[in-house]
Structure 1
Amino acid sequence: MANVLVVDDSSTMREIVSSYLRKNGFEVTTATDGRDGIAQLRADPAIRLVVSDVNMPIMDGLMMAEKIRTELDNKSVHIIMLTTEDNPLMRERGKAIGVTGWIVKPFRGEAVLGPFKRLCGLQP
């Protein structure tokens, strides 16, 4: 059972983020877009943190976040957007949906390691 779900349509980004997290004690599963992410969440109730890109085909990250909060009625999973998008209006939309945090790429694992561990309950 995973405690982190990494959702990105870029296989390179999925590998960078998931490899770093695995090396640092996380159980990670991945998804290629928002629809796949929803399916992974339904299949694995142990997921505590979703790290997702915003711009993806089929279902984008914000739509996925909205469905997590409404259709899945999951208010407990933390959702972090890891994206190139730095638009304040998009951030506000994310916040209104229930996105926990917003990180602008590039991914700097050392900067998020502590907060991610706390969100997953891996450290106090």
Structure 2
Amino acid sequence: MRALVIDDSRTMRRIIAAVLHTLGFETVEAADGREALDVLESGTEVDLACIDWNMPVMNGLEFVVAVRENRGWRDVTLMMVTTESEHDQIVRALAAGAHEYLIKPFTPDAIRDKLQLLGLVEFQESA
């Protein structure tokens, strides 16, 4: 399984990637939505995209809309991972095509739990 981690913070990309690695994912990183679209357009196949909302060039919501407009990427699971916590923002992201929404700050267990709900990692009992 491969995940695309999209966040303008290099530190946050590394944190999310580290968690995903422990769950068996390979990761590819992008600093904004446009760079992430370039990754997909290059033919890199991804199963999951973890997407920040607030980024320069192309924000996370714009990325979600662009991915959902491309039939070739319909199988990519989209999960917002963002500080945007207002109900309206969550509704907008899910309506645009995001499958899940995780609010920062988060724990590694929170990422695992969301991915279990999405069927991307096997269910494991918490320690």
Alignment of 1:1-124 (within 5 A): 3-70=2-69, 72-73=70-71, 74-116=73-115, 119=118, 121-123=120-122
Aligned length: 122
Distance 2:81 2:107 in 1: 10
**TM, length-normalised to structure 1:** 0.87
What SS class does the counterpart of residue 106 from structure 1 fall into?
A: coil
Structure of greater relative contact order (alpha carbons < 8 Å, 6+ residues apart): 1
Distance 2:105 2:13 in 1: 13
- Residue identity in the other structure for 2:105: P
- Residue identity in the other structure for 2:80: M
In the TM superposition, residue 87 of structure 1 has moved relative to its aligned partner by: 1.4
Q: Is the 8 A contact 1:48 1:119 kept in 2?
A: no
- Residue identity in the other structure for 2:110: A
**TM, length-normalised to structure 2:** 0.85
> RMSD value over aligned CA atoms?
1.9
CA 30–120 in structure 1, closer or farther in 2 if over 3 Å, else same: farther
Q: Is the 8 A contact 1:49 1:120 kept in 2?
A: no
Any runs of at least 4 consecutive aligned residues in structure 1 with deviations exceeding 3 A, and if so which?
117-124
- Residue identity in the other structure for 1:96: A
Q: Is the 8 A contact 2:23 2:121 kept in 1?
A: no
Gaps spanning 5+ residues in structure 2: where? none
In the TM superposition, residue 53 of structure 1 has moved relative to its aligned partner by: 0.4
